[in-house]
């Protein structure tokens, strides 16, 4: 069984590998080992995440896509989630999430009768869909609360905007000037590819 672990954090300031130990322990408890890890700092509301796309490209039928929770895999709107889920299904991947017990059958050697396996599979598929919808709703509610907070702060004259990380910007500019691509620069600077592209675009505007 080939297990591909996907670890994601939303921002460069967060540790995307935080759940690595928990995933490894979970696999060991089921007499399995994680064969490959895909780690990135990208928003779950984005569909074009480089490491997730690489995982899909690498995957083979029967592989397990192991995540800490469904919201690590997706906070996508419904249309984007359906496309991602279709891609996962087309590659023959089985989604297993630590916080979704019904998915744990995907990491076990198949057993039981066909009817039971199909019933459990159908129930798990329904719960994965539900958890993906909850993850998106949570994302939208947090964004709405954030926007309300910013709006109030602006009205009170207290909003200053997000401070610029001058050291990070300098590091990214140096890496880009050295000829590194977006993904390589993001890896060396330990930030998201979105941040690198934003800094690159700012440089272009001032040229």
**Considering 10, 20, 43, 125, which one is annotated as catalytic?**
10
10 is catalytic: yes
CA 77, 134, 8, 43 dihedral sign is positive
Beta bridge partners of residue 3, listed in sequence order = 34, 64
Degrees to nearest 5, angle at CA 25 with 139 and 42: 30
Nearest to 195 by CA among 206, 186, 207: 186
Task: Order across the sheet with 94-97: list the strands.
Answer: 34-41, 3-9, 64-67, 94-97
Active site residues: 10
């Amino acid at each position: 069984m080939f297990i591909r672990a996907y670890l994601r954090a939303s921002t460069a300031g967060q540790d995307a590998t935080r759940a690595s130990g928990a995933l490894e322990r979970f696999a060991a408890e089921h007499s399995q080992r994680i064969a490959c890890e895909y780690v990135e700092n990208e928003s779950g509301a984005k569909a074009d995440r480089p490491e997730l796309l690489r995982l899909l490209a690498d995957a083979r039928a029967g592989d397990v896509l192991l995540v800490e929770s469904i919201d690590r895999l997706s906070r996508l709107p419904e249309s984007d989630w359906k496309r991602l889920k279709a891609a996962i299904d087309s590659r023959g991947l089985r989604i297993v999430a630590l916080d979704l017990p019904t998915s744990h059958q995907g990491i076990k050697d198949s057993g039981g009768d066909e009817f039971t396996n199909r019933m459990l599979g159908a129930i798990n598929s329904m719960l994965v869909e539900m958890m993906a919808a909850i993850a998106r709703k949570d994302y939208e509610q947090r964004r709405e609360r954030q926007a309300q907070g910013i709006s109030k702060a602006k009205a009170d004259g207290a909003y200053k905007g997000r401070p610029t990380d001058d050291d990070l910007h300098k590091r990214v500019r140096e890496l880009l000037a050295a000829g590194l691509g977006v993904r390589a620069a993001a890896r060396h600077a330990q930030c998201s590819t979105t941040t690198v592209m934003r800094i690159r675009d700012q440089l272009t505007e001032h040229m």
